[in-house]
Amino acid sequence: MPASVVLLAGRTFTNISPTVIDDAETDGPQTVTITASAPGFAQGSTTVTVLDNDLHHFAIGSGDAQVFEQRTLILNQTSTVPFAISVVAKDIASNTLIGFTQAVALSAVSDLGLVVLSPTNTGMFQRGSWFGRVTVSNGDHMNVRIIAVETSSGRGGQSNPFRVYASLAQQLRILGAGIERSDVRLTFNSVTGRHYRLEAVLDLTGATWNVVVPKLTGLGGAMTVTNASRFSPPRQFYRVVLLALDGSPATSGIHRKKQVRTHH
Ligand SMILES: [Ca+2]
Ligand SMILES: [Ca+2]
């Protein structure tokens, strides 16, 4: 910005070209006041706003934001079914950084541990936004948050929490139960990498479920678990519980139980 300008004789105006120096601070829009004064004249001034071009965070919402240019919540989803999201680069004041173009990393977390999300990167942003379809593929999750991170700066953002339901094929279900001598064998459908626990109880009148097998890691598809030499006639109830990564029960709602009886 020049400290002074010369107004030629007979002219009523002149042009100046201030240079805005790019910084790396995430300080948002800055207001600049330009003042002109000369002896014998009243002072004049104007204000201009210098926009920030530094990423502060990402706003992540449903893909509908593409149409309305506003953030909308991601609703509940189903595992293996793609859904549309928007990732928008923002300055500290939540203005969209229309010059932001680079692709960023995508991932997701949940209360039940690792969420398998694809793709793991966005494509290039256009006018500060990326719209695309993503898929969670490893079954039931609660409080899923999609996370976008610009790896070079570590800045990122996450979506609202939402629920992902298991697809029909991934729903925890006991497929078969049988007794061989005193061994109880249960077969259930599993999702690769998820953790399960086998529990048993003698009656369903409120007795505490006993942990039979504390941790099973899903191999994908049907899995058989054996409770060796534990069958006590005339009947027992079994259930399979989906666990969080730390081994705690996922939820009382995510389990399936089966009654096993002797036949006489
Ligand atoms: Ca900058
Ligand atoms: Ca800046």
d(C-alpha 143, C-alpha 162), whole Å: 5
Structure confidence at residue 7 (pLDDT): 83
Structure confidence at residue 95 (pLDDT): 93
Structure confidence at residue 139 (pLDDT): 92
Nearest one of 46, 194, 182, 68 to 131, comparing CA atoms: 68
Structure confidence at residue 252 (pLDDT): 43
d(C-alpha 213, C-alpha 196), whole Å: 9
Handedness of CA 74, 129, 87, 167 (dihedral sign): positive
Structure confidence at residue 253 (pLDDT): 44
In DSSP terms, 223 is beta-bridged to 188
Query: Matching CATH topology for 57-165 and 172-261?
Result: yes
In DSSP terms, 161 is beta-bridged to none
The ligand placed nearest to the CA atom of residue 29 is 2
The ligand placed nearest to the CA atom of residue 91 is 2
Structure confidence at residue 82 (pLDDT): 97
pTM of the predicted structure, to 2 decimals: 0.79
Structure confidence at residue 124 (pLDDT): 97
The ligand placed nearest to the CA atom of residue 25 is 2
CB 110 within 8 Å of CB 164: yes
Structure confidence at residue 12 (pLDDT): 85
The one-character DSSP state at 121 is B
Spell out a b/e string for 169-200, using b for 16 or more CB atoms within 10 Å of the CB, else e.
ebebebeebebeeeebebbbbbbeebbbbbbb
Rounded distance from Cα 14 to ligand 1 centre (Å):
29
Rounded distance from Cα 72 to ligand 1 centre (Å):
28
Superfamily in which the 57-165 domain is placed by CATH: Immunoglobulins (2.60.40.10)
Cα distances (angstroms) measured from residue 11 to each of 35, 41, 45, 208: 19, 15, 19, 93
Rounded distance from Cα 100 to ligand 1 centre (Å):
11
Q: Rounded to the nearest 5°, which phi and psi values hold at 170?
A: -95, -5
Structure confidence at residue 256 (pLDDT): 63
Rounded distance from Cα 28 to ligand 1 centre (Å):
10
Place of tokens 């290039």: 124
The ligand placed nearest to the CA atom of residue 50 is 2
What is the distance of C-alpha 240 from the center of its chain? 27
* Residues of the chain where predicted confidence (pLDDT) is lower than 70: 64-71, 231, 245-257, 260-264
Q: Collect residues with CB below 5 Å from ion ligand 1.
A: 22, 53-54
Structure confidence at residue 109 (pLDDT): 94
CB 98 within 8 Å of CB 90: no
What are the extents of the domains in the chain?
A: 1-52, 57-165, 172-261
Q: Is CATH 2.60.40.10 the classification given to domain 172-261?
A: yes
Rounded distance from Cα 46 to ligand 2 centre (Å):
22
